[in-house]
Structure 1
Amino acid sequence: MAGADQDRAEWLGLLARADAAHLAGLWSRHGVTHTHRLLAGPETGMIRLTTTAGTTRFQFGEATCTRCVVELNGLRGYAVQLGSDLAKAEASACLDALLQSAPGLRAEILDPIRATLATERAEREQIVAATAVRFYTTRTSRDKCASR
């Protein structure tokens, strides 16, 4: 994947995982002078979730997702995300188009989202680590005793 495509894929992922209220605030702050045109959606639908176990592919569920496509300053902005928040999908698509047309805003818009997501992940990992259970089998205990 080329550098620009990789950057865009990263920011699309950040926008999809960001909080809806935060995205709405960003759009109202940066997009006030921009008018966008809806090309598709926002609309909600279902996607099939599949995985592979060994060599067998199987469906393990479905999820609600929302998508939106907008045009802003001649550029198309896209959003596809889990959930059914139509306003968030529209704000994400608008911010995608804005980030394409104004590279100088990327750090200002994306760094706070990146920091918030990192903090949330660290908090989740801390909670999970606190509840971890370590199981010892007879073999594990024997191996520990043998290494002493």
Structure 2
Amino acid sequence: MEMNSKNLDELINRYFDAETTLEEERELQRLITGPFATDARYDEVRAVMGFTAVGRKLRRKSHRSVRLWQAAAAAVVVLMLGSIYTIQQARPDDVCIAYVNGRKVTNPDEVVRLMQQEMQAVSSPMDAPTPESQLKDMFNTLNQ
């Protein structure tokens, strides 16, 4: 297609109305940077297209940096979860162990039974004399 200033102006108008295809935009960019469009009236189009091109490059770079941060964050999360899982697997389950007269007892029911038995043995029965009652008896005996 032979390009004259009328066709170029029409293409520019379509560009600003967002009615051009990607191929037409490439053609417009080629034309306004070539020797055909050296007129100052095309400066605005060159400025807008240049600004758009720079914006696209910056947007691509920012997307890359965002993707890089997302990948790094995902890697950290995976490492943390892996570490937690490894620690959980390495730690033994809760174990109930008691040593009674030098004998190791690992059965939880037996350990609880032995513990209750020992607690009963060390607790004083209700009818056993208390230190206060014993002292009272001693002083009463002395006073007689």
Q: Is TM (by shorter chain) over 0.5?
A: no
Q: Which structure exhibits the higher relative contact order, with contacts defined as CA atoms closer than 8 Å and separated by 6 or more residues?
A: 1
Task: Name the structure where strand makes up a greater proportion of residues.
Answer: 1
TM-score (norm 2): 0.27
| Structure (1 or 2) with the larger CA radius of gyration | 2
